[in-house]
């Protein structure tokens, strides 16, 4: 869904808060401080570069990232969304519900209703709100069977955006994300280049003049069907089964993890 706002409005973004789970925390995109960067950090940098520097040399942009890996939608609504009232940022990004949709028996209609309630918590206290559709999993083993649920959830998200005047970064339609190189070895989180593509898409959704997130990938050697099957089996053993096991045990990769940027602070 294209933004209806003019490109000039991005110049008014002087504060940005990111809410979400591992996608927004930036897993598998190593940062310069030894932690993770991710698309939200990259978007903050793009926003900052549109602003003048202060006398101290910082960019004239304050940024907080409250996202924590493994968080479900209700946890994001309870732990992260309430902080927006005191922060009053110009921009909030919310990406939530993906971990809920991936759970067996989840209802995308119910998840979407809870997502809208979370949006209503945030909307009065933010200048603009940016949300994200879910990725198209058609080429991902096992997860491709959830494609219909994700598509249903996405349809709800677009309706929520229409009702509440939200910006939408449509990662479902991001063709460059269908390339294997957009994903890290676990196939559940983006690679550094994948995070960069999403950051560019998010910036474009806000009306910023940026590079094309759909720029062609360099040519890559193709694997035979047998090699692909072996890779899929190895991936399932190393990443998928442990991930499923954690969910069956009620464990989260985010247990005891704190937000990496809990306060609105200059870059």
Encode pLDDT of 60-109 as tens digits: 899 999 999 999 999 999 999 999 999 999 999 999 999 999 888 999 99
Among residues 90, 86, 97, the alpha carbon closest in space to that of 153 is found at 97
User: What are the tens digits of pLDDT across the range 17-29?
Assistant: 999 999 999 999 9
Q: Tell if the pTM clears 0.85, that is, is over it.
A: yes
d(CA 39, CA 79): 21
Q: Residue 129: is its pLDDT beyond 80?
A: yes
| Three-state secondary-structure class, residue 228 | helix
- pLDDT score recorded for residue 227: 67
pLDDT the model gives residue 6: 39
* Phi and psi, residue 214, nearest 5°: -100, 15
Match 């193709």 to its residue by tokens: 222
Q: What's the sign of the alpha-carbon dihedral 174, 107, 109, 95?
A: negative
d(CA 144, CA 163): 30
Helix, strand and coil content of the chain, in percent to the nearest 5, comes to 50, 15, 40
pLDDT score recorded for residue 249: 63
Which pLDDT band holds residue 198 (cuts at 50, 70, 90)? very high
Cα distances from 106 to residues 72, 82, 111, 212, in angstroms, run 12, 25, 8, 35
Token pair 């909307």 is found at 123
**How high is the pLDDT of residue 52?**
80
- 95 and 131 in contact (C-beta within 8 Å)? yes
Which residue, among 160, 80, 173, 165, has the nearest Cα to 115 in the 3D structure?
160
Does residue 57 carry a pLDDT above 60?
yes
Q: What is the pLDDT of residue 4?
A: 39
pLDDT higher than 80, residue 228: no
Three-point CA angle 262, 135, 69, nearest 5°: 30
The CATH-assigned architecture of domain 7-215 is 3-Layer(aba) Sandwich (3.40)
Residue 264's pLDDT band (boundaries 50, 70, 90)?
A: very high
Q: Which of 56, 60, 77, 76 is nearest to 68 (CA)?
A: 76
CA-atom Rg of the chain in angstroms: 18
The rounded percent of the chain whose pLDDT value lies above 90 is 69
SS3 state of residue 149:
helix
């Amino acid at each position: 869904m294209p933004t209806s706002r003019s490109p000039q409005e991005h110049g008014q973004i002087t504060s940005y808060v990111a809410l979400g789970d591992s996608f927004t925390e930036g897993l598998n995109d190593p940062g310069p401080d030894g932690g993770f960067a991710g698309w939200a950090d990259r978007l903050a940098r793009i926003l900052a570069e549109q602003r003048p520097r202060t006398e101290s040399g910082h960019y004239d942009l304050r940024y907080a990232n409250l996202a924590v890996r493994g968080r479900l939608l209700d946890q994001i609504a309870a732990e992260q969304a309430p902080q927006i009232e005191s922060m009053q940022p110009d921009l909030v990004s919310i990406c939530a519900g993906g971990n809920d949709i991936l759970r067996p028996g989840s209802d995308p209609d119910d998840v979407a209703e809870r997502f809208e309630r979370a949006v209503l918590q945030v909307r009065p206290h933010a200048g603009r709100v940016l949300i994200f559709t879910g990725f198209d999993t058609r080429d991902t083993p096992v997860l491709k069977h959830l494609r219909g649920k994700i598509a249903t959830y996405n349809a709800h998200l677009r309706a929520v955006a229409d009702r509440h005047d939200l910006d939408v970064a449509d990662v479902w339609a991001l063709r460059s994300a269908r390339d294997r190189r957009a994903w890290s070895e676990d196939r559940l989180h983006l690679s550094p280049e994948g995070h960069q593509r999403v950051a560019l898409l998010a910036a474009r959704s806000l009306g910023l003049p940026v590079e094309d997130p759909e720029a062609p990938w360099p040519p890559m050697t193709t694997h035979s069907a047998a090699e692909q099957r072996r890779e899929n089996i190895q991936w399932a053993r190393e990443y998928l089964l442990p991930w499923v096991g954690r969910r069956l045990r009620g464990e989260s990769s985010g247990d005891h993890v704190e937000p990496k940027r809990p306060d609105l602070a200059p870059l």
